[in-house]
Structure 1
Amino acid sequence: MANLFSIFEPSSSLFSISTNWLSTMLGLMFIPYLYWASPSRWSLMWSKIIFTLHKEFKALLMPSHIGASTLFISLFSLIVYNNFLGLLPYVFTSSSHMVMNLSLSLPLWITLMLFGWLNHTRHMLAHLVPQGTPAALMPFMVIIETISNVIRPGTLAVRLTANMIAGHLLLTLLGNTGPSLSLTVLSVLIFSQILLLILESAVAIIQSYVFAVLSTLYTSEIN
């Protein structure tokens, strides 16, 4: 089991400093290219994705928070870059670690809570009791809503981590059985690996989108 999970360990180091985490910044190298290079299909497609996300996030956010869509588009871009780069051989997938994902979700959640409780205290208190709740159930609803609010950054991080780890482990388990298989079974294995890689590419986009949309919805609750 230790060898199985070793693909997720930041083992490469330089002067006792883990260098695998530098792969998180590889995606940022694609961004300047969009500014100085002539328009290509890739840049036009990415611009269309960003414009579509901006329209969707703008519809979810309150009018006073529309400018925050830039933050969530950047969040989506960072996660989707890391997810896709992690599918390449010998590239460390930082988005499969709780440290990375919690460092994205926890500061965002803490900032929203501080902003909401300091500026909209009455609304935040009213949000703990859904409209139409019987008086006898109000204390229990406050506890339930508080717990569901507190675990939000953890659920964001765990969802992304679990989905990325599951796909990588499945690809690794199937790949390790290759040397002991016959040529016929090996061809079936390679075909299944290609299908799984396509599925992982879809998961990489979907999980990045879910992370950004849920963060947008949590922000829209504070008005």
Structure 2
Amino acid sequence: MMTNLFSSFDPSTLKLTSLNWLSSLITIIFTPFMYWFIPSRFIMVWLNLINKLHKEFKILISNPSYKGSTLIFSGLLIFIMLNNFMGLFPYIFTCSAQLNFTLYLSIPLWLSFLIFGWTKNTIHMLAHLVPQSAPSTLLPFLVIIETISNIIRPGTLAIRLTANMIAGHLLITLMSNSGHSLILPFLSILLLLQTLLLTLESAVSLIQSYVFSILMTLYSSEVN
């Protein structure tokens, strides 16, 4: 039994704590098995989705020589999207609403882009700290501001995804807790509102995974 609204986001809700995090592995079920052997409509839909994502990310990657790099961001989008959708099912632990989970996604990629940029394109990274046509008197402050903005990027990515997932889930929980005390006409209105809210949360799950992947792609294109 949940003791408060945030119990559904508590990794230690169950006695066997590790079972909560297994919800992120359930997404493997949605991966098309026997990928190369049995063509089906499901696999064709999957391939069309990957192809659309490849074209979308290819536009954002400035260096055309980095072939295959779009697969990283396509896989990241699909992984986050499936985890967001899994959190909408009842009694399933929402991994993407955990800050440590989203930080594990953003920090390694951001750090690898940063190390690659400073080791391979040092001059470009130094020039990126100073905006064009900036007055010389403001250059020291602009360098500090740009440095801070680069450092907090993985935190803003993680917090954005976590906050959006928590907000919708809490609103659904609040509306559900008031259902037992309502009469039938108001209960029907509540069910309609929850259906609309669940539809909105499905759209938020897709949009947030798209935003996370697009921003990570833009960060990678800055180091080229």
* Structure 2 counterpart of 1:12: 14
Structure 1 pair 146/202, CA: closer, same or farther in 2 (3 Å)? Answer: same
Number of aligned residue pairs: give it. Answer: 220
Letter in 2 for 1:194: T
Shift of 1:169: 0.3
* Structure 2 counterpart of 1:180: 181
* Structure 2 counterpart of 1:206: 207
Which is helix-richer, 1 or 2?
A: 1
Mapped contact 1:34–1:43 kept (Cα < 8 A): no
Structure 1 pair 2/218, CA: closer, same or farther in 2 (3 Å)? Answer: farther
* Larger CA deviation: 55-64 vs 93-102: 55-64
Mapped contact 2:87–2:93 kept (Cα < 8 A): yes
* Structure 2 counterpart of 1:45: 45
In 2, Cα distance between equivalents of 1:216 and 1:20? 30
Q: Which runs of 5+ in 2 are unaligned?
A: none
Per-residue CA deviations over 1:157-183 (Å, capped at 9, x if unaligned) read 000000000000000000000000000
Mapped contact 1:83–1:95 kept (Cα < 8 A): yes
* Structure 2 counterpart of 1:155: 156
Shift of 1:50: 1.4
In 2, Cα distance between equivalents of 1:91 and 1:190? 21
Letter in 2 for 1:12: L
* Structure 2 counterpart of 1:216: 217
Shift of 1:32: 3.6
Per-residue CA deviations over 1:62-114 (Å, capped at 9, x if unaligned) read 21334211110110011000000110111111000101000000000110111
The residue matched to 1:64 in structure 2 has which SS?
coil
* Structure 1 counterpart of 2:33: 33
Q: How does 1:53-92 map to 2 (within 5 A)?
A: 53-61=53-61, 62-92=63-93
The residue matched to 1:77 in structure 2 has which SS?
helix
In 2, Cα distance between equivalents of 1:2 and 1:69? 43
Q: Which runs of 5+ in 1 are unaligned?
A: none
Percent identity, aligned pairs only? Answer: 56
Mapped contact 1:27–1:82 kept (Cα < 8 A): yes
TM-score by length of 1: 0.94
Letter in 2 for 1:157: A
